[in-house]
Structure 1
C-alpha cells in the first residue's frame, strides 16, 4: 500500500535519495531546453525575415522538423537498446551540439540554417528516450513518479526561461547567442561522458521479443499509446492557436503573463502532485484530465481576460495529469525496456501533434471567417469530451472480444 503523508514531505525525502547521476540529469533537463528554446522559438523569424524564405516553405520546414523530433524517438529507443543508454545520449548530444554550431553561419545561409534545425531535431529524437530510460534505470517503482515529474518540471522551467533570456540577443547579436548555446551543449556533452555506464538489466533479454517489425511493436501498451495520441491532439490546438485568439482580445503583455503563470503552475505542481497522480486509477486520471481540458477549452470560448487565464490554467491541470499518467501507465503495462516505452510515447505524441496541425489551421480559419472564433474552442471542447468516450467504447468492445486477455489491472 502506498504510504500516506504530506506531499512536500515525500518530495523532500525523495529528493534526498537522488544519486549524483540522477541529480546531474535533472540539472541537464533544465539546461538543455534552456539552450534549445533560446533559439528554436525564433526559427520562423530567422527563416522568414532574415533569410527571406516564404511562409509556406517555413511552415513545411518546421512541420517536418517537429515530426522528425517526435517520431524519431522510436529510432532513439531502438538505438539505446542496441548500444546502451549512455552511449545513445552522448551520440545525440554530439549531433545536437553540431546542429547549434551550424547555426553560426545560419543567418546568412539558408541551407546551413535548415541543416542546423534538422540536426537539432534528430539529436532531440535520439536523446529523450535514452535520457528518461537512464534517469529511472533500476529505480524502484515508488521513486519513478518523483523522477519523471521532477524531470518534466525542470524541462518546463527551461522552456519558459529560454526565450526570455534570448529575446534581446536573437536578432541583434545572433552570432554570440548561437556561440553561447553551442558552448553550453558541448559542456553538457562532456558532463554526460563522465556518467557511469548503466548496469545491465537482467530482464532485458526477456523483454526483447521477435525481430524486425514484430520487435518494433512487441509489448506495445495500446491504451496509453492511444490516449497519448488523443491528449496531444487536443492539447496542440491550445498550444498553436491561443496566441492568435488571446492577443487581439487582451494584449501581448497579458498573454505573456498567462504563459508565465502556466509555466509556473507546471513547474511547481508536477512534483507536488506526482504521488497523488501515480495513485489514481488510470480510468479516473483520464476522466479528470480530459474533463479539465474540456472545461478549459469551453472557458476560452467566452473570451476576455479572466476566461483566457482561467481556461489556460484548467488546461494546464489537464496536461499535468494526462501527460504524466500516460507515461507511467505505459511503463507499467509494457514488458519492454523504459527507453523503448518512452520512444513509443514520443511517436504517439508526434502523431497527435501532426493530426492537430492538419485539422487546426483550417478549423481556426473557418471560425474566424464566421466572425465567432470562440466557436473554434467550443468545437475543441466537444472533441475533448467525446473522443475519450469513443476511445473507452472501443477498448471495452475489444475486451469483450478477448475476455481472456483482460488483466486485473485493466479492469
Structure 2
C-alpha cells in the first residue's frame, strides 16, 4: 500500500486531499439537514423525508450522468462544473436562512454537484495506474472520504442550530478554495473534445452486469443499516453511543480497506461476494440482540463485509467493462443509488411492521435472511463475455479505453 502510493505525484495527492476536504465540508452540513429543515425552517417530518429521499437518489444515481459528461467533456472540466454547482448549493443554504423555500433547491444542487464530481474524481485518480496498484489508489480515496465524513459532524455539531449562518459561510468558502485548486490541475484526456466513444452510446451500454447487480444488492442491504440503525440504537442505548458506533465504522474503513486492498484485488470474485454478504448477514443477526456490545459487533461485521463488497465490485466493473473509467464509476453509482433507494423504501416498510409487532429485533433477523438468500440470484447476471481492463502498464491520463 505505502509503496503504491509513494509514486503519487502532485495532482493525485491533491485529489486525495480533496477526497478528505470535500466530505469534511459536506458532512458539516448534510447529516444535520433533517434537523435543520424541521426545526429551523419548520418543515413537517413527512416533507423532510421526501426531500431527503429525493436528494439521496439524485446524489447516487446521478453519477451515471457525471460519468457520461466526464467521458464527453473531460475529467478536469467535469470536476470544475461539479464543484461550481455544489458551491452554489451551499451558498443557497445560506440564503435559505432568509428565504426558506430556497433550501430544497439548494440541497438538490449540492447533491447534483456530488453526483457529477465523484466519477470524474475516481477516474482521474486511477488513470495511468496499472491494475496491481489500482486497489491501493481507490481504497486510499475511500479512506480519505470516510475520514472527512467522520470529522465533519464532530466539528459542526455544536453550531448547526445555534450558528448555521457562519457554518454555511465556512463550508461555502472551503468549496471556493477547493474549486480554485482544481483549476490548476493539468488537463486530462478528452479535454480537447469528445472522446471516440462519446457519441451514440447509451449510458448503460457496456455495463458489467454482475458487478452492477452485486453493487445494487450490497447497497440495498447496507441501507437497512444506514437508515434504521439510528432509531434502533438510540432507543436501546443513546445518541452518543450511536455516534460511537458510526465512528467505529468510519475508522474501520479508513484503516482496514487500504491495508486489505491488495488481498481484495487478488481474491476471486465469487469468494469476495460470499465473504462480503456473509459478513452483512452475521452483522445484521448480531444487531437483533439490541445490546450495546451487539451494536458495536454488528456494526463492525457489516462494515467489514462492505469493505470487501464495495471495493471488489468497483474493481470487477473496471476489469469487465469496455467503457471509460468515468462511465464505469457512473454506472456503479447508479447501481448504488437504485439499491439505496430500495433499501430505504422497502426497509422502512419492514421496520415499521416489526416495530408495530413489538420487537424491532426481527427487522435485523429478516435483513440477515435477505443477505443470505438474495445473493443466490446474482449468477443470473453473470457476464457472457467479460472484458479485461486494458491498463496493464501505466499510460497517460485519458478518458476512454483503447481496444
- CA distance in 2 between partners of 1:186 and 1:238 (Å): 34
Answer yes or no: is the 8 Å Cα contact 1:93–1:123 preserved in 2: yes
Q: Could you report, residue by residue, the CA deviation over 1:30-50 in whole angstroms, capped at 9, with x for unpaired residues? A: 000000000011111111111
- In structure 2, distance between residues paired with 1:271 and 1:142: 13
Q: Is the 8 A contact 2:73 2:190 kept in 1?
A: no
How far, CA to CA, are the matches of 2:143 and 2:115 in structure 1? Answer: 19
Instruction: Write the mapping of 1:290-305 to structure 2, written as runs, cut at 5 A.
Output: 290-305=277-292
Conservation of the 8 A alpha-carbon contact between 1:51 and 1:108: no
Q: Where do 1:263-274 residues align within 5 Å? A: 263-274=250-261
Gap change, CA 1:94 and 1:210, over 3 Å in 2: closer
The 8 Å contact of residues 321 and 386 in structure 2, kept in 1 or not, is answered as no
Q: CA deviation at 1:395?
A: 4.0
Give 2:299's match in structure 1, choosing from 308, 312, 319: 312
Query: Which residue of structure 2 lines up, in the alignment, with residue 34 of structure 1?
Result: 24
Tell me the residue number matched to 1:122.
112
The CA distance in 2 between the partners of 1:219 and 1:210, in whole Å, is 14
> d(CA) in 2 for partners of 1:86 and 1:205?
14
Task: Give the structure 1 partner of residue 393 of structure 2.
Answer: none
- Which one of 169, 173, 179 corresponds to residue 163 of structure 2? 173
Cα distance in 1 for residues equivalent to 2:241 and 2:136:
32
Aligned-partner Cα distance in 1 for 2:267–2:83: 35
Q: Is the contact between residue 29 and residue 155 of structure 1 (CA under 8 Å) also seen in structure 2?
A: yes
The 1:84/1:355 distance shift into structure 2, 3 A limit, reads: same
**1:20 equivalenced with 2:10 (yes/no):** yes
**Aligned 8 A contact 1:46 1:107 in 2:** no
Change (3 A) 1:235 1:174: same
Q: Deviations over 1:100-136 (max 9, x none)?
A: 1111121232222112101101111110111111111
**Match of 1:367?**
354
Equivalent position of 1:5 in the other structure: none
Contact 1:209/1:215, CA 8 A, preserved across alignment: no
Measured in 1, the distance between the counterparts of 2:92 and 2:294 equals 43
1:289 aligned onto 2:276: yes
Aligned-residue offset at 1:306: 1.2
Q: Structure 1 residues 85, 302: CA separation in 2 closer, same or farther (over 3 Å shift)?
A: same
Query: Does residue 193 of the first structure (1) align with residue 183 of the second (2)?
Result: yes
Asked whether the 8 Å contact 1:96–1:120 carries over to 2, the reply is yes
1:94-109 correspondence to structure 2 within 5 Å: 94-109=84-99
SS at match of 2:158: coil
| 1:333 corresponds to 2:333 | no
Q: Using the alignment, how far apart are the partners of 2:376 and 2:238 within structure 1?
A: 36
Match of 1:171, SS? coil
2:308 aligned with 1:321: yes
CA distance 1:256–1:321, shift in 2 (3 Å)? same
Q: Which has the higher contact order (CA 8 A, sep 6+)?
A: 2
Structure 2: state its 5+ residue gaps: 390-403
Query: Alignment length, in residue pairs?
Result: 387
1:110 aligns with 2:110: no
Find the partner of 2:152 among 135, 158, 162.
162
Change (3 A) 1:407 1:64: closer
In the TM superposition, residue 215 of structure 1 has moved relative to its aligned partner by: 2.9
Question: What is residue 394 of structure 2 aligned with on the other side?
Answer: none
The ranges of structure 1 where at least 4 consecutive aligned residues each deviate by more than 6 angstroms after the TM superposition are 406-409
Query: Using the alignment, how far apart are the partners of 1:395 and 1:87 within structure 2?
Result: 34
User: Distance between the aligned counterparts of 2:203 and 2:91, measured in 1?
Assistant: 33
Which moves more between the two structures, 230-239 or 104-113? 104-113
Where 2:202 maps in the other structure, the secondary structure is helix
1:408 shift after superposition = 10
Q: Say what the alpha-carbon RMSD is for the aligned residues.
A: 1.8
Normalization by structure 1: what TM-score? 0.91
Q: Distance in 2 between matches of 1:64 and 1:200?
A: 32
Residue 142 (structure 1) aligned with residue 132 (structure 2): yes
1:217 shift after superposition: 2.0
1:182/1:305 CA distance change after superposition, 3 Å: same
CA 337–308 in structure 1, closer or farther in 2 if over 3 Å, else same: same
- Output the CA distance in 1 between the equivalents of 2:325 and 2:344: 28
Deviation (angstroms), 1:260: 1.3
Assess, with a 3 A threshold, how the Cα gap between structure 1 residues 314 and 183 changes in structure 2: closer, same or farther. Answer: same
Q: Summarize deviations over 1:216-270 as a string: whole Å, max 9, x none.
A: 2221100000000000000000001111111221222222221111111111111
